[in-house]
Amino acid sequence: MERGYYDTSMGEIAQRVGVAKGTLYQHFESKEALMIVLFKREFHDLQVATERIAQMSVDAQEKMSLMIDTLCYHLAEKHPLFFIIRNATDLEAEIHQEIKEYFNAMRAQIGLMLDEGKAEGIFNVALPTEVMLEVLFGIIVSRLFKNFHQGLQVKYEDLVGHLKCIYFHGITAPAPAPAG
């Protein structure tokens, strides 16, 4: 994060983690290989968390609420990884290829949760699941959330709550309570 991907060497990484440079190279043939392993691990963990949530014995809205918490946590907690490769377009393309399997499995599992919610009468059956997925990822990976740690005045917990509100209820005002 301090120096960027291109300006950081394997020697500096080894020094920071407290191992010899040669030891680092025994496990990773290059800096690119190290970054790919880090991303694959994170997306594998996210896929496992998604599967765990999908198996829970709660309704689909509760599952999706937990899913949003999980996605936001991973993005907020692991955001340095995303920023490190931001300007490394060749590496970014390779990482996207390497994590595609994990991402697609996670996306399919979330799609099943949304379909489950439609079957339960919780989610709008008129909305295509694909659109619901795009909106979900669009909200979570928005510029707002990417810049959360860069001066946003909303607390993390409140931001996640606001994202859930937008996802589940839209931005229209709630209907007024009936009089009397």
Where residue 120 sits, what CATH number does that domain have?
1.10.357.10
The answer to the question of residue 67 being in a domain is yes
Quick: pLDDT tens for 81-91: 665 666 666 77
The answer to the question of residue 26 being in a domain is no
* Residues of the chain above pLDDT 90, percent: 29
pLDDT at 140: 79
Q: Which residues contact 124 (CB under 8 A, 6 or more apart)?
A: 118
pLDDT at 144: 47
Residue 85 backbone phi and psi in degrees, to 5 = -95, 5
For residue 65, the one-letter residue type is S
What is the count of structural domains for the chain?
1
The DSSP symbol for 177 reads P
Q: Which residues contact 148 (CB under 8 A, 6 or more apart)?
A: 76, 154, 156, 159
Query: Bigger pLDDT: 55 or 41?
Result: 55
pLDDT over 50 (residue 115): yes
The answer to the question of residue 25 being in a domain is no
Quick: pLDDT tens for 88-104: 667 777 888 888 898 89
The answer to the question of residue 3 being in a domain is no
The answer to the question of residue 79 being in a domain is yes
The answer to the question of residue 6 being in a domain is no
pLDDT at 64: 95
* Domain, as residue range, for 60: 31-169
pLDDT over 70 (residue 51): yes
The answer to the question of residue 9 being in a domain is no
The answer to the question of residue 66 being in a domain is yes
Mean pLDDT value across residues 28-46: 87
